Amino acid sequence: MVASFTTISALTIAVLAASTKAHNQMTVPLATWPEGFYNKNSPSGTIDAAAALPIPQGMSYTTDSASNVKAYWTAFNASKYKTLKEFAWATQKLEKGASNECGFSLVDGQPQELPEMVEWDAFSYSHMGPCEVWCDDKRVFQNWNCGVDYTETPAKLPYDKASCEGAAVLSCYWIAVHTVPWQIYTNCAPIKGGGAGGSKPSTPAADTPKQNTPDTDDTSTPATPPADKCAVRRRRH
Is position 4 within any domain?
Answer: no
Please name the residues in contact with 101: beta carbons below 8 A apart, sequence gap of 6 or more.
107, 169, 171, 186, 188, 200, 201, 229, 230, 231, 232, 233
pLDDT the model gives residue 203: 58
Rounded-to-integer distance, Cα 185 and Cα 42, Å: 7
Q: What is the pLDDT of residues 50-86, one digit of tens each?
A: 999 999 999 999 999 999 999 999 999 999 999 999 9
What pLDDT, on a 0 to 100 scale, did the predictor assign at position 107? 97
Instruction: For residue 92, tell me if it sits in a domain.
Output: yes
C-beta separation of 142 from 225 below 8 A: yes
Identify the pLDDT of residue 126: 86
Nearest alpha-carbon partner for 157 in 169, 168, 173, 176: 173
Split at pLDDT 50, 70, 90, the class of 10 is very low
**Residue 180 domain-assigned (yes or no):** yes
Segment 25-50 mean pLDDT: 96
Q: What is the pTM of this model?
A: 0.77
Q: Which of 69-78, 94-103, 129-138, 200-209 has the lowest mean pLDDT?
A: 200-209
φ/ψ of residue 51, rounded to 5: -75, -35
* Total domains in the fold of the chain: 1
Residue 188 has pLDDT above 50, yes or no: yes
- pLDDT of 230 strictly over 70: no
Structural domain range at position 127: 25-190
Q: What is the CB neighbour count within 10 angstroms for residue 130?
A: 27
Amino acid 202: pLDDT: 58
C-alpha–C-alpha distance, residues 69 and 191, integer Å = 32
Task: Give a yes or no: residue 83 inside a domain.
Answer: yes
Residue 163: pLDDT over 90: yes
Task: Count other Cβ atoms within 10 Å, centred on residue 36.
Answer: 6
| Percentage of the residues of the chain whose pLDDT score is greater than 90 | 69
Q: Which of 159, 170, 227 is nearest to 193 (CA)?
A: 170
Q: Which residue has the higher pLDDT, 54 or 9?
A: 54
* 22, containing H or E segment: helix 2-22
- Euclidean distance between CA atoms 213 and 188, whole angstroms: 27
Give residue 44's region: left, alpha or beta (phi > 0; psi -120 to 50): alpha
Between 19 and 137, name the one with better pLDDT.
137
Residues in CB range of 221: below 8 A, 6 or more apart: 214, 215
Give the model confidence (pLDDT) of 129-147 as tens digits. 999 999 999 999 999 999 9
pLDDT value at residue 125: 86
Which region among 130-134, 210-214, 229-233 has the lowest average model confidence (pLDDT)? 229-233
Whether 6 is in a domain gets the answer no
Quote the longest CA-to-CA distance of the chain.
Answer: 65
- Looking at residue 143, its pLDDT comes to 98
- Does residue 72 fall inside a structural domain? yes
Residue 222 included in any domain: no
* 206 assigned to some structural domain: no
Sheet of 45-47: strands edge to edge? 93-94, 45-47, 182-190, 169-176, 131-135, 138-143
Mean pLDDT of all residues in 195-217: 46
